[in-house]
Amino acid sequence: MNPSTHADNAAHDIAAHLHPFTNLATHPQVGPLVIRRGDGIFVEDDQGRRYMEAMSGLWCASLGFSNERLAKAGSEALRSLPYYHTFNHRSNEAAIALAEKLLTLAPVPMSKVFFANSGSEANDSAVKLVWYYHNAIGKPDKKKIIARRNAYHGVTVAAASLSGLVPNHRDFDLPIARILHVDCPHHYRYAEAGESEEAFATRLADALEKRILEEGPETVGAFIAEPVMGAGGVLVPPATYFEKVQAVLAKYEVLLIADEVICGFCRTGEMFGSTTFGLRPDILTAAKALSSGYVPISAVMVSEKVHAAVAANSGKIGTFGHGFTYSGHPVACAIALETLQVYEDENILAHVKTLAPRFQQGLQRYAARPHVGEVRGVGLIGAIELAADPARRTPFDPAQKAGARVAELALEQGLIVRAMGDAVAFCPPLVISAAQIDEMFERFDRALVGFEASMA
């Protein structure tokens, strides 16, 4: 069969495909970018154009786009057991091995692993676990969950409610009840003049405590946080933030959910962002790099404190009435297991630690550019935030779509980055080489020069 032409693909895509996170009104004019194949950290479109994928797709393809070991693990799993479920005491060997493996990698002692298919489902499951847990321990009012403005936790009803981004709520009639949002820990944007990171963190922790007291500590069940806020613009927490927040949570017996969907599996220079930033979660959600994005799978790890109460309660009811048809899918688990094995065999964590300084220094070079307000990042994730007047921290008028223009110019240079407002993010596959990091910034530099020329 001959491959379709781009014109054919575009026409059929426009006619049949409803795209997520896309302006649906303009899609017929803009048309799709159709990616046909992947090769290492590159992808190729249906017109033969090659792009360096500096976002790992959606922060997930940690091993790049052509890992043979994952393909082999998947095809072997498909041949031996293409599907089985894990309801009603059923299990499969891949799910068992993966659960066990994850417990050995967990940043704090965890007791059990629940499987789902996406970050959203993992976070929805975490919310339900928090509610179930508090019913189980006889605190049925302790159900509110605190998230942060600019957080991104997914799009299912509870996860979208946890997210603190306007487009996830607007006209979807969200957030649902019992989900609260507190201040975003972005020092550059929200600190007061002259306020140190530590002082800013103290102010946010004090505000969190005040909010818990206003709501009534007996009504607040959990706090959810990404160690580094990803889709909110790659926001690295200010120094001492999590230490101070966790002291407040402990005081009022509020559980901590760490959303490790982006940070998990080496991205921040440790196996989990919780290790990098000192989080001690009761519940941890992971997805994306768990399978290098090759198949949908997510995991929810729970501490023994949570598990013991949940298990006892399910005993009273007769079942734990939650789970997905594909929870612990044997093919997904086999690929995830192989992904974790590749991290180990190829020493990906050490590779990230070695390359992180080159990556971060490469980003920092942009700090002095005329339209760059802030450069931030950790490990192999980072962003530059564009600003109309960096000295005054004045953002661009959103109508100028500065971030989107830079991403567009980068695409013309064969580089895929992601604009989130005026933050331009980089989250390359963890297997990127030193030379490829340099090439990534050379391409980006050309894009930025083009942007600067257009602003002159």
Footprint of ligand PLP on this chain (CB under 6 A)? 58, 118-120, 123, 152-154, 226, 230-231, 259, 261-262, 287
Report helix angle 348-364 to 434-455, nearest 10: 30
Residues 6+ apart with CB under 8 A from 355: 380, 432, 433, 434, 437
Share of the chain residues as helix, strand and coil, in percent rounded to the nearest 5: 45, 15, 40
DSSP state of 394: B
Residue nearest to ligand PLP (CB): 119
Nearer to ligand PLP, 77 or 229 (CB): 229
Q: Which is nearer to ligand PLP, 362 or 377 (CB)?
A: 377
Which amino acid, residue 304?
Answer: E
And the tokens for 87? Answer: 């309801």
Q: Name 419's bridge partners.
A: 424
CA distance 371 to 116: 42
Q: Please report how close the Cβ of residue 217 comes to ligand PLP at its closest, in angstroms.
A: 26
- By beta-carbon proximity to ligand PLP, the closer residue of 152 and 272 is 152
Query: Smallest gap, in angstroms, from Cβ of residue 165 to ligand PLP?
Result: 11
**CA neighbor of 74 nearest in space, from 344, 340, 334:** 334
The radius of gyration of the chain from alpha carbons, rounded to an integer in Å, stands at: 22
Query: Among residues 58 and 96, whose Cβ is nearest to ligand PLP?
Result: 58
The CA angle 64-68-71, to the nearest 5 degrees, is: 95
Nearer to ligand PLP, 122 or 212 (CB): 122
Q: How far is the CB of 37 from ligand PLP (least distance, A)?
A: 23
Q: Which of 84, 71, 78 is nearest to 38 (CA)?
A: 71
Q: Is 180 exposed, middle or buried (0-12, 13-18, 19+ CB in 10 A)?
A: buried
Q: How far is the CB of 193 from ligand PLP (least distance, A)?
A: 31
Closest distance to ligand PLP from the beta carbon of 172 (Å): 15
Listing from the earlier edge strand, what are the strands of the sheet with 220-225? 112-116, 298-302, 283-286, 255-259, 220-225, 144-148, 179-182
The CB-of-245 to ligand PLP minimum distance in angstroms stands at: 17
Going by C-alpha positions, the residue among 148, 87, 119, 145 that lies closest to residue 282 is 145
For residues 298 and 436, which CB has a smaller minimum distance to ligand PLP in the complex?
Answer: 298
CB of 230 to ligand PLP, least distance (A): 4
Nearer to ligand PLP, 120 or 413 (CB): 120
User: Tell me, what DSSP letter sits at residue 235?
Assistant: B
Least distance to ligand PLP, CB of residue 423, Å: 14
Nearest CA-CA partner of 330 in 89, 80, 113: 80
Nearer Cβ to ligand PLP, position 92 or 291?
Answer: 291
Nearer to ligand PLP, 229 or 331 (CB): 229
Smallest distance from ligand PLP to CB 79, Å: 27
- Residue closest to 195 by CA, chosen among 232, 241, 235: 241
How near is the Cβ of 119 to ligand PLP at its closest, in Å?
2
Using the minimum distance from each CB to ligand PLP, give the nearer residue, 309 or 380: 380
| C-beta of residue 339 within 8 angstroms of C-beta of residue 271 | no
Q: How far is the CB of 267 from ligand PLP (least distance, A)?
A: 11
Any residues with CB less than 8 A from the CB of 350 and at least 6 apart, and which? none
Question: At which residue do the structure tokens 């649906």 appear?
Answer: 24
Residue 376 CB, nearest distance to ligand PLP (Å)?
A: 16
Whichever of 136 and 284 has its CB closer to ligand PLP, that residue is 284
Q: What six digits make up the tokens of 156?
A: 């299912």
- Cβ distance to ligand PLP smaller for residue 229 or 402: 229
Q: In what order do the strands lie in the sheet with 35-39?
A: 35-39, 42-45, 50-53, 415-416
